[in-house]
Amino acid sequence: MNAKPPNPRTPAWDIDSMFTDRWSPRALAADPLTPREVQTLFEAARWAPSCFNEQPWLFVYATAPEQRRKLAACLAPKNQLWAGHAPLLMFLLARRSFQKSGKENRHAPYDAGAAWMALALQARKLGLYAHAMAGFNLQKAYEALGASPEEFLVMAAIAVGRKCEDSGLPEELRAMESPNDRKPHAEVATDLFPLAPASHTQQGVS
Ligand SMILES: Cc1cc2nc3c(=O)[nH]c(=O)nc-3n(C[C@H](O)[C@H](O)[C@H](O)COP(=O)(O)O)c2cc1C
22-65 tens-digit pLDDT? 999 999 999 999 999 999 999 999 999 999 999 999 999 999 99
In a domain, 9, yes or no: no
Buried b (16+ CB within 10 A) or exposed e, 59-82: bbbbbeeeebebbbebbeeebebb
In a domain, 66, yes or no: yes
In a domain, 21, yes or no: yes
Atom of ligand 1 nearest to the CA of 23: 26
Position 199 confidence tier, pLDDT thresholds 50, 70, 90: low
Residues in contact with ligand 1 by the CB-under-6-Å rule are 23-24, 79, 132-135, 156, 179-180
H or E stretch including 142? Answer: helix 138-145
Position 190 confidence tier, pLDDT thresholds 50, 70, 90: confident
* CATH number of residue 68's parent domain: 3.40.109.10
Count structural domains, the chain.
Answer: 1
Q: Tell the burial category of 157 from Cβ atoms under 10 Å away from its Cβ (0-12, 13-18, 19+).
A: buried
Q: How far is the CA of 1 from the centre of ligand 1 (A)?
A: 25
What are the C-alpha distances in Å from 200 to residues 88, 191, 193, 196, 203? 52, 16, 10, 7, 5
- State the pLDDT at residue 129: 98
Q: How far is the CA of 82 from the centre of ligand 1 (A)?
A: 13
In a domain, 5, yes or no: no
**Rounded CA separation 120/21 (Å):** 10
SS3 165: coil
Position 5 confidence tier, pLDDT thresholds 50, 70, 90: low
Overall pTM > 0.75: yes
End-to-end CA distance of the chain, in Å? Answer: 69
Structure confidence by residue, pLDDT tens digits, 113-168? 999 999 999 999 999 999 999 999 999 999 999 999 999 999 999 999 999 999 99
- State the pLDDT at residue 194: 65
In a domain, 1, yes or no: no
In a domain, 94, yes or no: yes
> Rg for the chain (alpha carbons), in Å?
20
In a domain, 11, yes or no: no
pLDDT at 195 over 70: no
- Report the residue among 28, 131, 158 best suited for mutation to probe ligand 1: largest number of ligand atoms under 8 A from its CB: 131
Q: How far is the CA of 96 from the centre of ligand 1 (A)?
A: 23
Say if CB 82 and CB 133 are below 8 A apart: no
The arithmetic mean of pLDDT across residues 67-73, rounded, is 98
Q: How far is the CA of 145 from the centre of ligand 1 (A)?
A: 22
Q: Which domain holds residue 189?
A: 17-202
In a domain, 56, yes or no: yes
- Report the residue among 7, 21, 24, 92 best suited for mutation to probe ligand 1: largest number of ligand atoms under 8 A from its CB: 24
